[in-house]
Amino acid sequence: MDNYWELTKQLPNKENHEMVNEFLLSLKLSKHSENTVLSYRRYLLNFFGEIEDTYSSLSSERILEWYQTNKGHLKESSFKQHLSVVSSFFNFCVKESQIERSPIKKRWFPRPPKAVPKYLDKGEIAKIRQESERTSLRDQALIEFMLTSGCRIGEVNSLNIENIDLENRTARVVGKGKKIRHVHFSDKCAILLGRYLESRQTKETSPIFVKFESETRLGISGIHRIMKKIGENAGLSGSLHAHRLRHTFATELLAKGAELAFISDELGHVDLSTTQIYARLPNHVIISQYRKFRG
């Protein structure tokens, strides 16, 4: 098609027509595909074909009003695509020093729904524990601690023996922003930790989880490798990682009726809004999890 980057229809406003053509030409010169340029041309012709105001004088309110009137029926994906094209045009105008700033507001773009936390169900937890029993005491204790304390991987990595109270099943961890909190872990975890520490030549200030060959602190990458291998051997769908265990811990608390504020404290969230991701779990999921964890 000859000069496919040029508008095929005269726009009501001559300045708009000239500027849109310059923008389309810039797309062509930037090696965008013909289909992409034609798509942009179609969207811009649709938008400016009904607007007599000069692009440089268009206010945000006027543009939003046009979208609400003409594109309010579109699906989010279609609306976002149309708005993105028009936004690209105005960004081009800013770059060319034709206007000071784009009138398109970021808040107009539909926000994708945040993903529901990926957690392990009761059957998957059983598989993880069963698989960890085929490994070392260290790895068993590590998995059980992360599963029942809800700690971040960095918090687990920095734990020392002096931070653990096996009798009361608590641990003193340093979270984000060097905020100290006390977490709890299960009876099973306390037993595994006790047996694991008895098998080592330990000192009070030694790291909890160490490398076999040197008894130096097991790094975060090492913890990642242990979890990944156990997850793969257990046949999990998706990889096993620290945040999946953390999500499992929080989901189990929610299924047992814990308030979000309590869960937030246990997870060490500075802002309760961070914990709100668990409130997005559908009710039927929570009920199902409750029944499973109640056994």
Select which of 243, 256, 280, 291 is catalytic. 243
Distance linking the first and last C-alpha atoms of the chain: 68
What is the C-alpha to C-alpha distance for residues 139 and 226, in angstroms, rounded to an integer? 7
Q: How confident is the model at residue 290 (pLDDT cuts 50, 70, 90)?
A: very low
Sheet of 164-165: strand order equals 164-165, 170-174, 180-184
Same domain, 179 and 275: yes
pLDDT of residue 116: 62
| Residue 152 among the catalytic residues | yes
Tens of pLDDT, residue by residue over 39-80, are: 999 999 999 998 899 999 999 999 999 998 888 888 888 888
191 pLDDT exceeds 80?
A: yes
One-letter amino acid identity for 68?
Q
Q: Residue 78's domain spans which residues?
A: 14-108
Q: Tokens standing for 270?
A: 């500075």
pLDDT of residue 49: 92
pLDDT of residue 57: 94
| Residue 246 among the catalytic residues | yes
What is the C-alpha to C-alpha distance for residues 157 and 153, in angstroms, rounded to an integer? 6
Q: Residue 174 in contact with residue 180, Cβ under 8 Å?
A: yes
| Residue 243 among the catalytic residues | yes
Choosing from 78, 108, 138, the residue where a domain stops is: 108
Find the mean pLDDT for residues 205-216: 88
| Residue 269 among the catalytic residues | yes
Same domain, 70 and 208: no
Residue 3 lies in a domain: no
Select which of 176, 182, 211, 291 is catalytic. 176
Least confident of 121-135, 167-181, 253-267: 253-267
Number of folded domains that form the chain: 2
Select which of 40, 55, 196, 278 is catalytic. 278
Same domain, 104 and 176: no
| pTM given for the model | 0.59
State the CATH number of the domain containing residue 176.
Answer: 1.10.443.10
Same domain, 35 and 126: no
Find the mean pLDDT for residues 92-108: 94
